[in-house]
Amino acid sequence: MKWKNLKNKLAKRYKLVILSEHSFEEVWSYRLSLGNLIYSLIVISTLILVMGILLVIFTPLKQWIPDFPSPEIRESIINNSLRVDSLTSALKTHETYLTNVRKILVGDVTPNDLAENPISKSYRIDSIQERQYDSIIRSQVEYARTTTLLGNKSTKASLSLGQIQFFPPVRGVISNKFNNAEQHFGIDIVTKPETLVCATLSGTVINVGWTLEGGNVVQIQHENEIISVYKHNSKVLKKQGDYVYTGEPIAVVGNTGEYSTGPHLHFEIWYKGVPVDPAQYLNFN
Are residues 157 and 226 located together in one domain of the fold?
Answer: yes
Better pLDDT: 9 or 208? 208
Does residue 247 carry a pLDDT above 70? yes
Does residue 21 carry a pLDDT above 90? no
Are residues 59 and 99 located together in one domain of the fold?
Answer: no
Are residues 43 and 114 located together in one domain of the fold?
Answer: no
DSSP string, 97-119: HHHHHHHHHHT---GGGSPPPTT
| Gap between the Cα atoms of 166 and 14, Å rounded | 105
Q: Which tens digit of pLDDT belongs to each residue from 71-103?
A: 677 777 788 888 888 888 788 887 877 777 776
Domain span at 46: 2-64
Residues ≥6 apart with Cβ < 8 Å to 187: 174, 176, 177, 178, 266, 267, 277, 278, 279
Are residues 109 and 217 located together in one domain of the fold?
Answer: yes
Number of domains in the chain: 2
| CA 13 to chain CA centroid, nearest Å | 73
Average pLDDT value for the chain: 78
Are residues 30 and 110 located together in one domain of the fold?
Answer: no
Are residues 106 and 45 located together in one domain of the fold?
Answer: no
Are residues 111 and 10 located together in one domain of the fold?
Answer: no
Q: What is the pLDDT of residue 142?
A: 54
Are residues 58 and 97 located together in one domain of the fold?
Answer: no
Are residues 114 and 243 located together in one domain of the fold?
Answer: yes
Does residue 116 carry a pLDDT above 70? no
Are residues 115 and 175 located together in one domain of the fold?
Answer: yes
- Interval 11-15 mean pLDDT: 75
Are residues 42 and 170 located together in one domain of the fold?
Answer: no
Does residue 7 carry a pLDDT above 90? no
pLDDT band at 122 (very low <50, low <70, confident <90, very high): very low
